[in-house]
Amino acid sequence: MVMAATRCLSLFIFLLPLFLVAEAQSPYYNCPNTGPTYAAGSAYQKDLNTLLASLRANASVSPSLFYNTTVGRSPDQVYGLVQCHTDISPDDCSFCAVSSASQILQVCPSAKIAVIWFDNCLLRYSSVDFFGVVDSSQLALVNTDGISNPSQFKPVAISFFNNLSASATTDKSSLSYATGAVPYTDNTTLYSLVECTRDLSPKFCDSCLSNSIRSMSQCCIDKQGARILSGSCVIRYEIYPFFGNLSTLTPSMFDNVSLVGHNCPADTNQRSNGSFRQNLNMLLDSLSTANTTPTSLRSEVNKVYGQFQCRGDVPEDVCRRCAKSASTRIPDLCPDSVSAIVWFNYCQLRYSNTSFFGKLDIMDKYYSAPKGRPPEFSFTLGTLINNLTTLATTKDSPNMFETGSRAFNGSQTLYALVQCTDDISRSDCYKCLDTLPGEIQSVSRSSERAILLTGSCRAEYGLTKFFFDQQVNVTVPTGTGTGTDEPNSTRPPPTSSG
């Protein structure tokens, strides 16, 4: 559903006094709410599948990491392009293209027109020839934290965006892509990225970026980060480095993927044999590569069932590292087990010789709660966790993942996170998270930071922000560039079906 700009913004402002809540970071997508659709088994669907296969295969072939093509004949002809940031490796570009081609079919089923954005790439297709034409529809994503002295920040940021835009549109070697950093205060640096799809002329690229900068100045310039996305260009800024050879992570505390805990069955009557271990290795390989999506995957290899899932806030590259670490460690931690689960700070991985998909698991449990100074936020924590649980189990939270924060004691802030695995129902998600408040209250009496884990859900809290910067969707006025105006869906996509 597309909401009017004023309604969406008023909802955003209403949430702020209570606690900051945001959706998963990536990907985002744009499908027409009322637009042309195709039928299952139709010629258009076959042409679309052929197109997506071609985009996947050719995304990283060109040095420009850009590929566009057309498949089929009218009226079933389909046009498509895929493009990666020029400062990522061909392997990362290929991975992003594969993920985009898979997810766009999940989030935009039967749509003849769609675009999906990941942090490092975008993929777009349409039944109408859009090559060389500016897409004027826009999606705004806004960091929930405000910037200090916004009236001082705005002219610095706008001038910086304009300079990057000029670089992207006048320097042929830039491939319509520019990044940079500029000091804002003694302790704050502004990082920004601008990019156009490489089918656009410099003139149309400039038009697209100008419209995006104008929209940015209207909706988002008082925040610590934001991006304006269209099918033809992207502009993004943050107060941390996120592109190129710079770290794509936020604070340095997020640099490491680390083991939290694991659980192996105590039943010694069931031991894995050579055949099982061979199938398990195949399963773990499929989960660690996660070729269909970088955030969540379920798989089955010869009656060995496995599930991998990252936290909803985790960037793609961190999720991939977590998948590799989990798949490497779990055989060593549970060498003879026919079922096991391992929890990392950013992901979990589970396997079994019996199917557990869609089944609520609250028996596998692990708590990490280092002892420390007794905190004074039990009531605030309980309220925050309950609110996040309610949000995570409603239809407006397709990922069953929420983060939030709440002030207490006048000067301190409490941060929390809840998530369920995406194979269970919303009602089971609520049941799972509802089992945790007692344990949370118990550990919160002696620990300022804790992670509570089950096989189907997790809850975390801390006095410093431990999750990645989140962004909420804000509808902005449509730009004035030429081209078709495709209505956008501002819903973040599910990480997988289930």
Residue 189, token pair as written in the block: 């640096």
pLDDT at 335: 84
Q: Tell me which of 131 and 136 has the higher pLDDT.
A: 131
pLDDT at 361 over 50: yes
pLDDT at 419: 95
Asked if 276 and 334 count as a contact pair (C-beta separation under 8 A), the reply is no
Q: Work out the pLDDT band at 71, boundaries 50, 70, 90.
A: very high
Calpha distance 357→362 (Å, rounded): 14
In this prediction the pTM is 0.52
The domains found in the chain, sorted by start residue, are 31-131 (3.30.430.20), 139-250 (3.30.430.20), 254-357 (3.30.430.20), 366-467 (3.30.430.20)
Calpha distance 135→127 (Å, rounded): 14
pLDDT at 173: 82
For the stretch 416-465, pLDDT in tens is 999 999 999 999 999 999 888 777 777 777 778 888 999 999 999 988 88
Q: Work out the pLDDT band at 372, boundaries 50, 70, 90.
A: low
Mean pLDDT, range 33-62, rounded to an integer = 93
Calpha distance 414→405 (Å, rounded): 5
Q: How far is CA 171 from CA 193, 200, 202, 430, in A?
A: 15, 14, 9, 53
Q: Work out the pLDDT band at 333, boundaries 50, 70, 90.
A: confident
Backbone angles phi, psi at 63, to 5 degrees: -60, -25
pLDDT at 369 over 60: yes
Asked if 490 and 24 count as a contact pair (C-beta separation under 8 A), the reply is no
Cis before 75? omega within 30: yes
Calpha distance 167→246 (Å, rounded): 20
Helix (H, G, I), strand (E, B), or coil: what is residue 189?
strand
Q: Tell me which of 459 and 287 has the higher pLDDT.
A: 459
425 burial (CB, 10 Å; 0-12 / 13-18 / 19+) is: middle
Instruction: Give percent of the chain with pLDDT exceeding 90.
Output: 39
Mean pLDDT, range 46-60, rounded to an integer = 95
pLDDT at 3: 29
In 302-411, the DSSP E strands lie at 304-310, 339-344, 347-352, 365-368, 401-408
Cβ–Cβ contacts within 10 Å for residue 464, how many?
A: 11
Calpha distance 83→342 (Å, rounded): 35
What mean pLDDT is reported for the chain? 80
pLDDT at 171: 83
Q: Tell me which of 121 and 409 has the higher pLDDT.
A: 121
What is the 8-class DSSP label of residue 72?
A: S
CB-hemisphere CA count at 13 Å for 280?
Answer: 25
pLDDT at 336: 81
Q: Work out the pLDDT band at 12, boundaries 50, 70, 90.
A: very low
Mean pLDDT, range 264-286, rounded to an integer = 71
pLDDT at 396 over 80: no
396 burial (CB, 10 Å; 0-12 / 13-18 / 19+) is: exposed
Q: How far is CA 52 from CA 58, 68, 116, in A?
A: 10, 10, 13
Q: Tell me which of 119 and 5 has the higher pLDDT.
A: 119
For the stretch 137-152, pLDDT in tens is 999 999 888 898 888 9
496 burial (CB, 10 Å; 0-12 / 13-18 / 19+) is: buried
Nearest to 468 by CA among 253, 246, 290, 258: 253
pLDDT at 16: 23
pLDDT at 206 over 60: yes
Calpha distance 340→439 (Å, rounded): 23
Q: Work out the pLDDT band at 470, boundaries 50, 70, 90.
A: low
Write the DSSP assignment of 457-477 as a string of letters: EEEEEESS--S---EEEE--P
Nearest to 315 by CA among 238, 387, 263, 391: 238
